[in-house]
Homo-oligomer: A and B are copies of this chain.
Amino acid sequence: MPAPRRIRLGVSMIGMGYHLAAWRHPESSAGGNMELQHAVRVTQAAERGLLDMAFLADGVGIRFNDVPKGALSHTCKNVQFEPLTLLSALAMVTNHVGLVATASTTYNEPYHIARKFASLDHISGGRAGWNVVTSATDMEAQNFGLVGAPPKTGRYDRAAEFVEVVKGLWNSWEDDAFVRDKAQGINYDPDKLHILDHEGAHFRVMGPLNVARTPQGRPIIVQAGASDQGRELAAATADVIYAASQTLEDARAYYDDVKRRMAAYGREPDQLKIMPGIMAVPGATRQEAQDKYEVLQQRVEPIVGLAALANYLGDLSAYDLDGPLPEPDPADRRDHSRGQIFLDIARRGNLSIRQLYLSIAGGNGHRLVIGTPSDIVDAMQDWFEGGGADGFNLLPTWLPGGLEDVVETVIPEMQRRGLYRTAYEGKTLRENLGLAWPEHPATAAKRAAIADAVGHAAE
């Protein structure tokens, strides 16, 4: 009997929370984004909730345009821990939860990324994941010698080769290469060392990696691109996708499309878990949930709301806040699928500028569900069973409270319905996600050769 299909959960543990006003929540930590104990508390809450993984979004620079001027200082989108260093630290105070760090393929070198994630996988005992992003903002580009971000096509071309090189480096050593025979003085078996010697359009990398093959075979690969190229890269290489959809119809279309693309890469659909973002705000009653949400909504200043829109739709500060959204300049949609999501939201609801920014202040274009635990599980179950999701990436309004609410009230309801684990299934993130062991190509070849020989002998 196969294990029942269960909802996977991750959590975005960025800074003070996902809501624009999270840092102004009356109970939020005074130490802000750079308080280690805050991050410890968040990750431990995720583990108490038996979540598959805690996910750290990242930019190599501030990613929030200070438009209208002055807006940035009214947000907490300024400083944060660097993800890999933080997750290594958090690995020491947790035992089961997966630790997913974002890293850019546009401004890094594959060798560094391969090493750092392999190292995190060893340190955490097999819980590392890499959220592969291509870094869309000009602000990041300017920290790396450029004036603006390279065109998206070029970024994704580089990303595809980058991931290939990293995966190759992770296979530098077979799983059992290190014999460490002290008496004979043989540290490793030279036949189990594989030199990559990669030469491609973007990279020339010799190898080997100076880190052993990892507890998960290789770290988990996460992707979040929604464009055609983003989907193709995910279908080819990702284990998990963070998606952003507003309706089941959209979610299902995305889900079907990406899973269909996998066949071309010889992959089974269930080897990729699609997890749309969801901002879940539970309360004992619907009113209580709504009231909780209002605590944050009331703290969204117009300048901050306008800035959140400006990042994807251009500066709207010359327009009446309570008037309609002007037709945006296509140049302002910034080469990014998020701008289109915002436009769709505005059009679907016929929203004013103020209504639009208030409606995305929480989930930033992700799905928002405010209600009782039962309402929230209904919403998840609907998409999970309706072919729109394998799980969800929780976007807590504020941290740790927004996450702790979900852990304490929503998870038990999911468990009651048999939709969620009651204990971690395995020791590694890969096992918990139900993903197959990535056999080393050389090991696979040897196995095949043995099977062949046995077959011949039996003839």
Contact = CB atoms under 8 A, between A and B. Distances in A.
A109 B103 CA distance: 14
A278 B330 CA distance: 64
B34 A122 contact: yes
A122 B89 CA distance: 11
Q: Is the contact region of chain A dominated by helix, strand, or loop, or is it mixed?
A: loop
A182 B295 CA distance: 12
A144 B203 CA distance: 8
A34 B112 contact: no
A261 interface: no
Q: Which of A73, A116, A209 has the most CB of B within 10 A?
A: A73
Nearest to A92: B92
A111 B60 contact: yes
Contact of A89 (B73, B92, B107, B299): B92
A23 B180 contact: yes
A143 interface: yes
Interface string A197-223: 000000111111111100000000000
Interface in A17-64: 23-26, 28, 30, 32, 34, 36, 59-62
A71 to B, nearest CB: 11
Given A26-B182, A85-B85, A111 B144 contact: yes
A390 to B, nearest CB: 29
A341 interface: no
Interface stretch (A74-82, A266-274, A435-443): A74-82
Interface in A63-114: 70, 72-76, 78-82, 84-86, 88-89, 91-93, 107-109, 111-112
A143 B26 contact: no
A247 interface: no
A240 interface: no
B76 A187 contact: yes
A438 B386 CA distance: 59
B81 A119 contact: yes
B143 A82 contact: no
A228 B330 CA distance: 56
Contacts of A88: 84-86, 88-89
Q: Which of A78, A93, A120, A204 has the most CB of B within 10 A?
A: A78
A185 interface: yes
A113 B430 CA distance: 30
A361 to B, nearest CB: 13
A85 B182 contact: no
24 contacts: A23-B187, A24-B185, A28-B182, A32-B178, A36-B122, A60-B115, A61-B206, A61-B210, A62-B210, A72-B190, A73-B186, A76-B187, A79-B178, A81-B123, A85-B85, A85-B88, A86-B119, A88-B89, A89-B92, A107-B112, A142-B206, A145-B204, A146-B204, A185-B301
